[in-house]
Amino acid sequence: MSLSGIRQGTINLLSAGLFHLFEQQVTQFVVRSYHKPIGNKSLFVRFEEVLRVQDCDAGSLPYWEKIRNEFRLVANTVKHGPGDSAHKLASVRPDFFRPEFLKTEPGIFRALGDDATSPLSGEGLFLTEDDFRGYADAIIAFWDAFSCGEN
């Protein structure tokens, strides 16, 4: 049992780390584009502003909304456990709050953000390796489209 908790906690931790790596990449882009600190605006708002100046809409890039919204909520839930982000995440991805053996029986278990008590211990938030791969693939597709100028 404890090994499954360690495994789950590791997947959760790596997911949060992947999101923060993406944030660092976006930060580098924004700082290099404006050559000044981000300021009081949120990073993603500033990123969208930088793109608008260059006649590009961030929303037209693949997976932008998924990364900006859902994946950000995942990272915040991993870091902070129950709270606003966990509640928002539970409303869009209730499956993340069901243990693997209950994911096929959604009516049996009510998924709540309050259940994410110890995500780093593998409790309350149940991302899978496929979820991690999906977010990694989304980030790669986002940057590939961005660097190629595809919309």
> Tens-of-pLDDT digits for all 151 residues of the chain?
567 889 999 999 999 999 999 999 999 998 888 756 566 778 899 899 888 888 889 999 999 999 999 999 999 999 999 999 999 999 999 889 887 766 666 565 566 676 788 888 888 899 999 999 999 999 999 999 987 554 4
Predicted pLDDT of residue 5:
85
| Phi, psi for residue 123 in degrees, rounded to 5 | -115, 130
- What letter would DSSP give residue 109? S
Predicted pLDDT of residue 52:
87
Domain count for the chain:
1
Predicted pLDDT of residue 98:
83
Predicted pLDDT of residue 135:
98
The sign of the torsion formed by the CA atoms of 108, 99, 70, 128 equals: negative
Compute CA distances 24 → 9, 13, 36, 75, 110, whole Å.
22, 16, 15, 14, 35
Q: What global pTM score does this model have?
A: 0.86
- CA 29, CA 12: separation in Å to the nearest integer? 26
Predicted pLDDT of residue 105:
63
User: Structural domain of residue 69, as residue ranges?
Assistant: 2-148
